[in-house]
Amino acid sequence: MTPPQNFDLKSLIACPKCDALYRVGPVEKGDQAKCLRCRTVLYARRRDAGLIIISTALASTILVIAALFLPFIEISRLGFKNGSTLIDAALAFYGGPLFVLSLAVIGSIIALPLTRLFLTLYTLTPLVLNRPAWPGAKRAFRLSETLRPWSMAEIFLVGCAVSLIKLTDLARVELGPAFWMFVSVILLMAIQNSFMCRWSVWKALER
């Protein structure tokens, strides 16, 4: 079906979940436009959203990098104590068949979230500063959205917590600072996600 003439496609928005089509209307500051059928947020106007997103992204980047060098767990048994960082854990399988698996785990919990954080900062920093978007910003934002389902730090943490509970029968297990840093990163990411209005970002990038 072809749209009638003098029909402005830019004034339309489709619900990303159920494909219902709406005409974009004005939204008050702090309000959200939701799909009538499935209640998905179509777009929102929040004060200082961009600033909140880039500050949480920056804080998360620092936490993820710092967490690499600090103990993730500490295990003690019969007076012996051993702390392990995430890099130690990956390298423990070096040379064995499990090394590929440990690299995949490190990729999904460190490399992918760090790449997404970098892409978010690259896309949004100039927009927040009211400057023209940096070159390739559209591609960077699209890549960041494509990677979204693949960065799985929260699933990893839940898995760790379950295995650590099982380990407590054998030894005393303490969660190291890196574990709590990852918990903070997940909370910061959730805040970032709730303030991110993808439609507004695309509109700003088109300008």
Summarize as ranges the residues that interact with Zn ion (CB under 5 A).
Answer: 15, 17-18, 20, 35, 37-38, 40
Name which of 13 and 153 has its Cβ closer to Zn ion: 13
* Minimum gap (Å) between residue 16 Cβ and Zn ion: 8
Name which of 15 and 63 has its Cβ closer to Zn ion: 15
* Minimum gap (Å) between residue 94 Cβ and Zn ion: 48
Name which of 35 and 110 has its Cβ closer to Zn ion: 35
* Minimum gap (Å) between residue 202 Cβ and Zn ion: 18
* Minimum gap (Å) between residue 58 Cβ and Zn ion: 33
Rounded to an integer, what distance in angstroms lies between the CA atom of residue 63 and that of residue 49? Answer: 21
Name which of 15 and 127 has its Cβ closer to Zn ion: 15
* Minimum gap (Å) between residue 39 Cβ and Zn ion: 7
Q: Which pairs with CB-CB distance under 8 Å and at least 24 residues apart come from 164-167?
A: 164/73, 167/75
Name which of 15 and 106 has its Cβ closer to Zn ion: 15
Radius of gyration of the chain (CA): 22
Compute the 3-state secondary structure of the chain and give helix, strand, coil in percent, each to the nearest 5: 55, 15, 30
Name which of 39 and 81 has its Cβ closer to Zn ion: 39
Which position has the token pair 């003439």?
5
As a three-state string, the secondary structure of 23-49 is ECCCCCCCCEEECCCCCCEEEECCCCH
* Minimum gap (Å) between residue 37 Cβ and Zn ion: 5
Burial 87-110 (b: 16+ CB within 10 A, else e): eeebeeeeeeeeeeebeebbbbbb
Helix 112-128 / helix 49-67 crossing angle, nearest 10 deg:
150
